[in-house]
Chains A and B, each alone.
Chain A
């Protein structure tokens, strides 16, 4: 169980998260939707302790991440895997070293065991035989898969996805969606994804939460969100140009 309580964060006088509250149940897949730049990634980075809030708490199994020192944070982070927007593979290391990174750094495993685990993790994301390649030799979709393999190689309890389908073609995006669902079923992890891709959100989510103006304004199953009465959520999920979100904003100067 992850509880986010009254989380506030501002950058340069601009309030990004404003008394945000959200509960994430163990084993579910929750998708956080919202416009680009509304603070979705910031929220994700608070959950794993990459950013410290101005005020508020993030409780993971009743322990507050925001007040932990480096050592405690390290042990909490070992329970998390995170897939970054651009995959964030270490380009000086090979695919094998990337995927095995967590094990090399923190676990006492033999070389053969490590090779087995890496192979297993790569197989889970549908890749094989690329252990010796460098990240620069991979395509965008493959990079994301390797990034995902790295995230799940340490057998995390929670997996965080930062815009998993952004920058991919629709077919590749769908295969990543399938992968997220499949991994969720196989590994029994709690998945938290942020995206503005509604196709992806409907496909992978048990619950969808919408972030708007620094607050979670709606939480519900994909069905509930689809049939929402809330005009803001409605405008977002239908992708309408006119509505309460864009009220008072004139796009004419952009055309």
Chain B
């Protein structure tokens, strides 16, 4: 009896491990296929632009709201500490650096993963369970080329742009609080925003957001294209798409931050 439980336990670990390997393998293959099909004509400009509008332009409102509030909260929370040292004027630098290096890329990626990633999985998942993806293949059209590549291009272009936008709006949020509530002058706030900011702060953020775009697209499309089991399956795939991309975004954020800290000083 005890031996049987022991064996069951290892069987379970083995099964989960194999599932994990299969998952990672599947995503790697999809990434490879996407990169393979990307330069092959036809280039599907119309679909790509459509996706850019869906992914980028339609996310502007929510990205504005969230980064504005984040900037404001950041200013207020740091004021609470900084006032003790009478160092309020550095709030501007703190907001600028944390937005560009960290919060801009990560928050935007999380918003887009929740908003767009989920939508992509639901759409592709529904296409899979209603045999539309099979139908594409019978019409001699590669689903990766037709469905994944336009979304991939749209995400890796639009996510960094959204991030840049979020950086600016976040700083604006800090500026509003800093000048209205904390009594910092306009000139002082501006000077303290731009002076400490290095190009590196901005481009490391953008490099991160480029990879977050890759993660969101590949996870969402992979989950969508392996969906099985009707409406329930689509719901399940959508949930795990959001969960997996959140985890991967945060984990790779940690990785890239460490990389830029230790290597690309």
Contacts and interface: CB of A to CB of B under 8 A. Distances in A.
A102 interface: yes
Among B137, B139, B142, the one with the most A-chain Cβ atoms within 10 Å of its Cβ is B139
B130 interface: yes
Interface string B116-137: 0000000100010011101111
A103 to B, nearest CB: 10
B137 A105 contact: no
A97 to B, nearest CB: 11
B140 A82 contact: no
B141 interface: yes
Contact of A84 (B123, B134, B140, B141): B134
A45 interface: yes
Interface residues of A, number: 26
A126 interface: no
A88 B140 contact: no
B132 A77 contact: no
Given A74-B140, A101-B139, A105-B139, A50 B134 contact: yes
A21 interface: no
Chief secondary structure at chain B's binding surface: helix
Interface string A140-169: 000000000010001000000000000000
Contacts of A236: none
Interface residues of B, number: 14
B130 A82 contact: no
A27 interface: no
A56 interface: no
A130 interface: no
Contacts of A220: none
A50 B130 contact: no
Given A70-B142, A77-B138, A88-B130, 9 more contacts: A50-B138, A74-B140, A78-B140, A89-B132, A90-B127, A90-B132, A90-B135, A91-B132, A101-B139
Interface of B: 123, 127, 130-132, 134-142
Interface of A: 45, 48, 50, 70, 73-75, 77-78, 80-82, 84-86, 88-92, 101-102, 105-106, 150, 154
28 contacts: A48-B138, A50-B134, A73-B140, A75-B140, A77-B138, A80-B138, A81-B138, A82-B138, A84-B131, A84-B134, A85-B131, A86-B131, A88-B132, A88-B134, A88-B135, A89-B132, A89-B135, A90-B127, A90-B136, A91-B132, A92-B123, A101-B139, A101-B141, A102-B139, A102-B140, A105-B139, A106-B140, A150-B139
